[in-house]
Amino acid sequence: MRLLVIEDEGPLREQLVSHLTGAGFAVDAAADGEEGLYQGNEYPYDAAVVDLGLPKLSGIEVIRQWRAAGRHFPVLVLTARGRWQEKVEGLEAGADDYMVKPFSMEELMARLRALLRRSGGWTQSLLKCGPVTLDMTTQQVEVDGAPVELTAFEYKVLEYLMLHDGAVVSKADLTDHIYQQDFDRDSNVIEVFVGRLRRKLDPDNRYTPIETLRGRGYRFAIARDNPQ
């Protein structure tokens, strides 16, 4: 999951980046509205955290321009004032949720996960596809009820594929959504992660949860249990 954080206050921005990175997200940060707008338009983010009181271009304007340009990733806005007029304007501009400063990092994380689930069409934090279960809150993965140990990157790849189950996800997409901007795109590290995931999830080749579509990418092939 790749996130964009736009916050002008340096210390708060660093805290957000470090908390979110610690929680397993790939995080890019911008310090003002213009830079944030550019990044949001340029890279495929899964969600964004946007402060409303930004220099150069207000948060509301940033969101409005993203939406006008067809960028539909979920946006969580941070507001200092907490006046309803501000919240409503933010949500009308295209934001999906808001938090009033000073917020708690845990709640921010929970809200972000909820937004990401919703954007993948899931309503619960427990993603179940046949024998495979992924809990977005605890980041635990089980196959047939038995826990599977995954590294952080393996988890990210699986989470992304399961959130978009049934859809073809290209290698470039995965790279974009799992790594920050400075990642070396030519490496075949994604193939390595997918190979390891297959071995861990399906050592006996019974389910083949992840299909490879030659030249196009990967697909999580087991249908979700609670399609909504």
Partner 1 sequence: MMSLNSRVLLAATAVLIIFLGATGAVLDGAFRTSAEAAEHDRLQTQVYALLAAAEVQDDGSLRLPRALAEPRFTTPGSGLYARIVDAHGNSVWRSPSTVGVEVPFTSAAAAGKFHFQRMPAKGYFAMALEVVWESGRGTPTRYVFQVSENDASYRDQVGSFRRHLWGWLAGVAALLLLVQGLILRWGLAPLRRVADDLEQVRSGSAANLGGAYPKELEGLTGSINTFIASERAQRDRYRNSLSDLAHSLKTPLAVLRGALPENAGEAGAVDEQVDRIAQIVDYQLQRAATSGKPALATPVALRRSVERLTSSLTKVYAARGVVIETDIPDGLTFLGDEGDLLEVLGNVLDNACKWARARVHIAAARRDESLVVTVDDDGPGIAEERRDDVLRRGVRADEQVAGHGIGLAVVRDVLAAYGGRLEIGRADGLGGARVVLILPAS
What residues line the site for partner 1 (CB under 8 A)?
A: 9, 11-12, 15-16, 19, 53, 78, 80-88, 91-92, 96-98, 100-105, 114, 118, 123
Q: Please identify, using beta-carbon distances, which residue of 10 and 147 lies nearer to partner 1.
A: 10
Q: Please identify, using beta-carbon distances, which residue of 78 and 197 lies nearer to partner 1.
A: 78
Q: Which two tokens stand for residue 134?
A: 């992924």
Q: Please identify, using beta-carbon distances, which residue of 43 and 103 lies nearer to partner 1.
A: 103
Minimum distance from CB of 96 to partner 1 (Å)?
A: 6
Q: Please identify, using beta-carbon distances, which residue of 16 and 161 lies nearer to partner 1.
A: 16
Q: Please identify, using beta-carbon distances, which residue of 115 and 150 lies nearer to partner 1.
A: 115
Q: What is the DSSP string of the chain?
A: -EEEEE-SSHHHHHHHHHHHHHTT-EEEEESSHHHHHHHHHHS--SEEEEESS-SSS-HHHHHHHHHHTT----EEEEESS--HHHHHHHHHHT--EEEESSPPHHHHHHHHHHHHHHHTT--SSEEEETTEEEETTTTEEEETTEEE---HHHHHHHHHHHHTTTSEE-HHHHHHHHS-TT--TT--HHHHHHHHHHHHH-TTSSS--EEEETTTEEEE-SPPSS--
Q: Residue 171, CB half-sphere, CA atoms under 13 Å: how many?
A: 17
Minimum distance from CB of 191 to partner 1 (Å)?
A: 35
Minimum distance from CB of 226 to partner 1 (Å)?
A: 14
Q: Please identify, using beta-carbon distances, which residue of 115 and 201 lies nearer to partner 1.
A: 115
